[in-house]
Amino acid sequence: MLKVGLIGCGFMGGMHAACFNAIENAQIVAVADVRCEKAEKIAKGKDIRIFSTGMELIENADVDVIDICLPTYLHTEHAVAAMKKVKNVFIEKPVCMSTEEGELLLKTEKETGAKVQVGQVIRLWDEYVWLKTQADKKVFGEIKSASFRRLSPKPDWSWDGWLHDVERSGSMALDLHIHDIDFMRYLMGEPESFTSKEARNSDGAIEHIFTTFTYPNSTVTVEGCWSYPADFPFTADFIVEFEKATIVNNANGLYVYSIDGGCEKIEPASSFESDNKTDGNISSLGGYYNELKYFVDKVSAGEVPTVAPLSEGIKSVELVLSEISSVGGAKK
């Protein structure tokens, strides 16, 4: 049984806590949040120690794993301290905010031998896992073109509004759009070149980005947005055109349109079954359950998690930072 220390009990911390409740070989034994009511909510009725800051937890908690669900600008300092102390660290995406932070994280990982996974959750989201598997096996031939979108109302939950402060979140591009950038890189490797266009709010912060990436034999568009009205349904979809079929994933499901005609609905197998018999319904936890279950199983086996390693999380940050820089910065 892995003992987990969870740092940051806000939106994502709450989701991770629900996932750990459904994972039998891991248990949260310590939580930290500067808002004690948030930590208390997760600890309620359970044998969980509460700390008032992340650093306090890292210094004092008896844990095997540290899970960092802090605002992005706090990731690096906590991850460095956690790697030095505990060795097994899960860090939410985007893993860091700059190339310098990325270098420090990689140096610390190397020096400590820590096992690190980044929360690039789309790599473990069932529909995207299915797509990646088909592409790797060349079931439908080569990719000719692809389009990924992630469109959202303005997020309104963040502690003290850090998400809308580009100095602390890096803007919508680094926070939300990075999901599809990371998956595109995972699926297709590094693009040869790109062109970005953006839309900004009245403060000059990027709230919508459209990027076209060029690959040797294909073109990919990636759109990210968080400026839509509150009642707009969160939308994450893709269309990938292969030589022999076009794959569509949207709110209606996952479909294969063959060039020979016809359309097949795909029900992708769950990457992981819940192993907590008392809390079997994990469908609402999506890829978050998958990524944490994968991480826990790897660490329990003494193995390095390889699906979303630190180096990859940093490369995705760097590509998004290049997009941001190409349009004149996260805020103008």
Ligand X SMILES: NC(=O)c1ccc[n+]([C@@H]2O[C@H](COP(=O)([O-])OP(=O)(O)OC[C@H]3O[C@@H](n4cnc5c(N)ncnc54)[C@H](O)[C@@H]3O)[C@@H](O)[C@H]2O)c1
Closest CA to 312 of 120, 83, 129, 65: 120
Shortest gap between Cβ of 298 and ligand X (angstroms)?
A: 18
Tokens of 269: 């197998």
Q: Give whichever of 16 and 132 is closer to ligand X, judged by the CB atom.
A: 16
Q: Give whichever of 34 and 266 is closer to ligand X, judged by the CB atom.
A: 34
Shortest gap between Cβ of 19 and ligand X (angstroms)?
A: 11
Shortest gap between Cβ of 277 and ligand X (angstroms)?
A: 27
Q: Give whichever of 124 and 146 is closer to ligand X, judged by the CB atom.
A: 124
Distance in angstroms (rounded) separating the CA atoms of residues 202 and 214:
31
Q: Give whichever of 8 and 256 is closer to ligand X, judged by the CB atom.
A: 8
**31 within 8 A of 48, measured Cβ to Cβ:** yes
Q: Give whichever of 115 and 164 is closer to ligand X, judged by the CB atom.
A: 164
In sequence order, which residues have a C-beta less than 8 Å from that of residue 128 and are 6 or more positions away? Answer: 122, 183, 238, 249, 287
* Cis amide prior to 94 (ω within 30 degrees): yes
Transcribe 37-69 into DSSP letters: HHHHHHHTTS--EEESSHHHHHHH---SEEEE-
Shortest gap between Cβ of 78 and ligand X (angstroms)?
A: 8
Shortest gap between Cβ of 176 and ligand X (angstroms)?
A: 8
Distance in angstroms (rounded) separating the CA atoms of residues 238 and 257:
13
Closest residue by beta carbon to ligand X: 10
Distance in angstroms (rounded) separating the CA atoms of residues 219 and 144:
7
Q: Give whichever of 131 and 143 is closer to ligand X, judged by the CB atom.
A: 131
Which residues make up the interface to ligand X (CB under 6 A)?
7-13, 32-35, 38, 53-54, 69-72, 74, 92-93, 119, 121, 157-159, 175
Q: How far apart are the first and last CA of the chain?
A: 49
Shortest gap between Cβ of 253 and ligand X (angstroms)?
A: 21
